[in-house]
Amino acid sequence: MALNGLLDIELSVPNPSETFDFWIRRGMTRTSSDVLGTADRPVQITVKEGPYRHLSKLHMSCETEADLATLSARLADVGVAASVSGTTLSCVDPVFGHAIVIDVGAPHPLVPPQRRSFNGPGERIRTTERADAVVGQTPPAPRRVGHVVLATPMFKQSADFYVNTLGFRVSDRMFKGALTFMRVESDHHNLLIQPGPTSYLNHYAVEVDDIDAVGQSGTAVLAENPSANVVGVGRHNLGSNVFWYLTDPAGNMFEFFSDMDQIVDDAEWDRVHRRDDWEGADGPAGFSVWGPKDPPEAFLNPPDVKQIAAAREALGLR
């Protein structure tokens, strides 16, 4: 069985037009009235109306129709109902309650970004001209949605579902397995499950070209709303990616990121690099290599988390 891609996500928010227009201003394209895309991938974020902000669908891909049959059997083994129609499997996440849709296929490839010329000590590559980031001050458009981070009190149960039932591959763990970084692509992580006071979307992550694009994109958000800043800019230990976390108009935290670790040899990664207790003896502590060393309280406990818990309880969700 081989999941091979994170295709797109669906967000449900009380006022979808605000979130939709926010991403149009960031450079995403309008695919339809509620679907946002990028130059390479016409479907990346669908924005629906809902009673509270949450991830409402996770859309992934797998290699073959035989994978769907294997997935359906595994889901049945753990008591999760699934339906298969043609080359599409659908089920509901047993902890968070969002839809999971898996299609036979793969993500559309991304066109590599235009190479920027960087000067270094003893290396004069860009001469008699200004840096691209100075000349082109409009932020480059987002490239794709790269990962989501989910928080729940049932973090062990949820991580077990994604790893042992759906087949995500573990890249690293922290705090004796409390945080599980996992992937279906070559990215260090397409999904992270972590503890939380209720089950909610911690953040979704949008890849941009490079560190300049992270800085330019985040600065443009703050020009509209200075209170949107959460934490950044920095470079994470796990994943090695450059990050800047902000909030969208619905209050969802999102991340502009670039330069994520790429794992193309699973066996080599597991043998040499994978750590199952990064914050213990196996690895250094810290939120980042450089940049903010500790995230603020809102990073782990958003200000509306009690409202989310109450909304979920009213709908019979844990």
* Contacts made by residues 159-168, CB under 8 angstroms, sequence distance 24+: 159/193, 161/78, 161/80, 161/93, 161/94, 161/95, 162/191, 162/193, 165/71, 165/74, 165/75, 165/77, 165/78, 165/80, 166/3, 166/71, 166/74, 166/100, 167/1, 167/2, 167/3, 167/71, 168/3
Q: What is the pLDDT at residue 284?
A: 57
Q: What is the average pLDDT across 254-258?
A: 99
* Separation of alpha carbons 43 and 40, rounded Å: 9
Phi, psi of 128 (to 5 degrees): 55, 35
Q: What pLDDT, on a 0 to 100 scale, did the predictor assign at position 283?
A: 52
CATH assignment, 3-109+141-314:
3.10.180.10
In tens, the pLDDT along 22-66 reads 999 999 999 999 999 999 999 999 999 999 999 999 999 999 999
Among residues 62, 82, 66, the alpha carbon closest in space to that of 6 is found at 62
For 105-131, how does the pLDDT look when each residue is reduced to its tens digit (9 = 90+)? 999 999 998 777 889 999 999 999 998
Q: What is the pTM of this model?
A: 0.96
Q: pLDDT digit string (tens) for 262-308?
A: 999 999 999 999 998 876 545 556 789 999 999 999 999 999 999 99
Containing 164, the helix (H) or strand (E) segment is: none
